[in-house]
Structure 1
């Protein structure tokens, strides 16, 4: 006799990991009601997701700049995105909502579902007929509110799909296939938005050598202390290398990891999957068990990096400036490094923007503001700025043994290798702290960073890295300059800076 849905054990109401940033109220209930009127009845766990996602701080900004929901396929995470998209259009007044998926067909399925929901809203009179203009052109699928120009666009992600779009809300469907390169392309476009948000929904990464962005988010969530991240992970604590710790036939485990069990997923269905799939595949696809991240694929362990984040970090005393330009010159970064009163290193990205035309003015402004030990950069970056730097009086010291404050410090090949190695040591030993920048550019740079070795030397692999390395290189050379040159310059304490977050 077939097993009815009502006879299946019910899925858990709460995930194993739930991170909720501080907030004063939430617009989740309003989003849930709008979805209901569109014919989208959300389960309690989906409603909870929206309450966390749409939590609001005292200043009116989203508590969750980033929000992630990690749960197995067919549980209904797509409905969470649908409700968020409807809220963005009809409740929140967001100008541009970008829905991206790994594959075109997935993005189009979402487009068709939203089209049906919008038609339902028109049918029941929530919005007048012909309020929304629908574009069905291949590759340009979108909805636009005629009166306001608000848009909801659907795209299949590519390496450069984040460039040129500055969405108030970015919905990252199938986030397991969302790369650090795509993340680095997206983040700077959001910095000019007044109240942006990124929402990730996914099952765990397919293997330990991919999913850098998800692994980094997971590490930040589990480390705690990040008040800009909301996170709900339905998977168990064990990873795919630890399946001996799990009873894959335990119905209670199935229910704990599948909130829709007994609602739209039956016990019979899961038993059938268990018989037909290998243990690792079943664990990952149905139980949301994460793979163990292969650190060889990325240079920096996300857990180590997440442990260094401190939004309240402040340096005490001298600071060095680091500058770098991406090899393709699409972006440039300025970083600072100093020492805190408690002895930890302090680093942060203070500027990260497209192009390079802005860079020289900002270097000069920061030099005047903080009276740095040095302004450090690699040889290629220095060569490309040599003439412009000389025009504004930023040059190498006449006597390398007697540098002056604000002099240019250019790393040799061996010094760059030492800088990279020492940076890695500091991260692994957790003797550094960093302030997350508004665009999370440094986090994205670290998540995709790789190293290359040539004999005894080790440097950041600029071409092989899965993200723009300029933010990482900027703080790397700033750290090197502070340690290598502080004892050579005069010991006068620099003036208090006029810029924040130091």
Structure 2
């Protein structure tokens, strides 16, 4: 077992954490928190060498992860059945995944490797990256029988039958696949249902291994990551290695309110040292200056989570699905559900403005279909996307809460939705819009939340079991407003915009809208 403590002095730190001869600063190449079972050798160097042959040059910290994660016992079996890597975004965890998968496919003799992510597009992008590496290396490419890429069917198969498959996680995905290794990307969104589907497939495999890779915990959705982290911290506290877990985490340990002014046990979140401690790619693929500049852009909470690796981890599984039960929500999933015209759209934005969602609601059967149309980083994309949707679907309204973070978009959305973008109107005139914009009041927000909650309880909501919406519901909390409540935005550790968006879109189906509604073409799939 290894523990690299943040309380060490600079003189005790490995040279890779100190300024280089040219004055450049490098991130910590070994993690502040690490445990690993005893081992006598490692296959990590084989993976590092193969990656280099395929044109993938790994940073020292990535090489360190592979050596630790692929450590072996005296009999040649894996020292760690489970390997977890917790590191902030954009540091290069994808390179670790690719190197491990290349080894398993071409050297390790693993008959089936399963790569999963919480969303299909993430898994698909991973397929494309490793396909390029293999195609670019003739010695590897000639061993490939086929690259299969259709909707939901991505895999690489060798002539000897070895296969690397890419899937999106769900409570059913992975069943029936007995993988020699499982690579679980984006593990901060990983719950019991997904683990129940994937982990038992490895029971009959000789010497299997499972890798978890992601960034800091985001609250209730990070059930499995929190469980792994608790095991690691307990092993460190007890001074006894976990017999099957290798855990490596790059994160800062910020000061708390109780810290004295001269506290040296915690990190100053505004310091460069906190950035270096939590971002091993600084000096290689990340610039210290650019990363530090994020402090001026992100909220304090967002910066701590996204850049310093300070996560929000549920203390136990009871923290998840605290408002609407998981079973109740999953029972309403309907893959055939689709909204009837006219629909209503709604927009919501996170408090730190790091993400935004556009959601839709429409009548379906005896209830209402709700769906996340788009959930993306930033907000600049929202107005133009709304115009595209308005022109295509002719909705009855677009709902925005002016008292929410989305309120700042009202002017830009209004401009984007003008029938004639070049039309000038008088000071007291309203522009002619493709679709009315309905601005909510506080009482509307409360009513919308209560109506959504009641509709779910009565089984009058249908959905497509989308990961962003399920994640938001898993982490949802109540915000008390007098004798009523709305969805809490702060302190939930998860992007709540998909939930707020569908709640307000559903409300928009029933609100009175000024002006006649035009006939529209039957509903078409979102593009």
TM-score (norm 1): 0.55
Q: 1:172 aligns with which of 184, 208, 211?
A: 184
The reply to whether residue 234 of structure 1 matches residue 245 of structure 2 is no
Aligned to 2:291: 270
Question: Are the aligned partners of 2:115 and 2:164 in contact in 1 as well (CA < 8 Å)?
Answer: yes
| Cα distance, 1:279–1:94 mapped onto 2, change above 3 Å | same
CA distance in 1, matches of 2:255, 2:157: 43
**How far did residue 83 of structure 1 move?**
0.2
Q: 1:15 aligns with which of 27, 31, 36?
A: 31
Question: Are the aligned partners of 1:18 and 1:231 in contact in 2 as well (CA < 8 Å)?
Answer: yes
CA distance in 2, matches of 1:8, 1:60: 40
Question: Are the aligned partners of 1:8 and 1:267 in contact in 2 as well (CA < 8 Å)?
Answer: no
CA distance in 1, matches of 2:258, 2:119: 31
Please show how residues 444-483 of structure 1 align to structure 2 within 5 Å.
none
**How far did residue 246 of structure 1 move?**
3.9
The reply to whether residue 258 of structure 1 matches residue 272 of structure 2 is no
CA distance in 2, matches of 1:83, 1:77: 10
The reply to whether residue 159 of structure 1 matches residue 175 of structure 2 is no
**How far did residue 79 of structure 1 move?**
0.4
The reply to whether residue 217 of structure 1 matches residue 228 of structure 2 is yes
Question: Are the aligned partners of 1:94 and 1:168 in contact in 2 as well (CA < 8 Å)?
Answer: yes
Higher relative contact order (CA 8 A, sep 6+): 1
Aligned to 1:61: 77
Which SS does the other structure have where 2:217 is aligned? coil
Gaps of 5+ in 2: 1-21, 236-240, 261-265, 321-330, 332-473, 475-527
| Cα distance, 1:84–1:15 mapped onto 2, change above 3 Å | same
Gaps of 5+ in 1: 1-5, 300-327, 329-447, 449-502
CA distance in 1, matches of 2:228, 2:245: 8
Which SS does the other structure have where 1:220 is aligned? helix
CA distance in 2, matches of 1:49, 1:243: 33
**How far did residue 190 of structure 1 move?**
0.7
CA distance in 1, matches of 2:257, 2:161: 50
Aligned length: 291
Aligned to 1:308: none
The reply to whether residue 185 of structure 1 matches residue 201 of structure 2 is no
Aligned to 2:215: 203
The reply to whether residue 49 of structure 1 matches residue 70 of structure 2 is no
Q: 2:134 aligns with which of 118, 122, 143?
A: 118
Which SS does the other structure have where 2:80 is aligned? coil
Q: 1:150 aligns with which of 162, 183, 186?
A: 162
The reply to whether residue 137 of structure 1 matches residue 150 of structure 2 is yes
Aligned to 1:27: 43
Question: Are the aligned partners of 1:134 and 1:144 in contact in 2 as well (CA < 8 Å)?
Answer: yes
| Cα distance, 1:295–1:144 mapped onto 2, change above 3 Å | closer
| Cα distance, 1:128–1:58 mapped onto 2, change above 3 Å | same
Please show how residues 334-353 of structure 1 align to structure 2 within 5 Å.
none
Q: 1:280 aligns with which of 285, 288, 301?
A: 301
Question: Are the aligned partners of 1:7 and 1:262 in contact in 2 as well (CA < 8 Å)?
Answer: no
Question: Are the aligned partners of 2:223 and 2:317 in contact in 1 as well (CA < 8 Å)?
Answer: no
Map Cα deviations across residues 95-121 of structure 1 (whole Å, 9 max, x no partner).
000000111111111101100111122
**How far did residue 128 of structure 1 move?**
5.9
RMSD: 2.4
Map Cα deviations across residues 234-282 of structure 1 (whole Å, 9 max, x no partner).
1134599999954221001100110001111112221331111001110
Q: 2:97 aligns with which of 61, 81, 88?
A: 81
TM-score (norm 2): 0.53
Aligned to 1:441: none
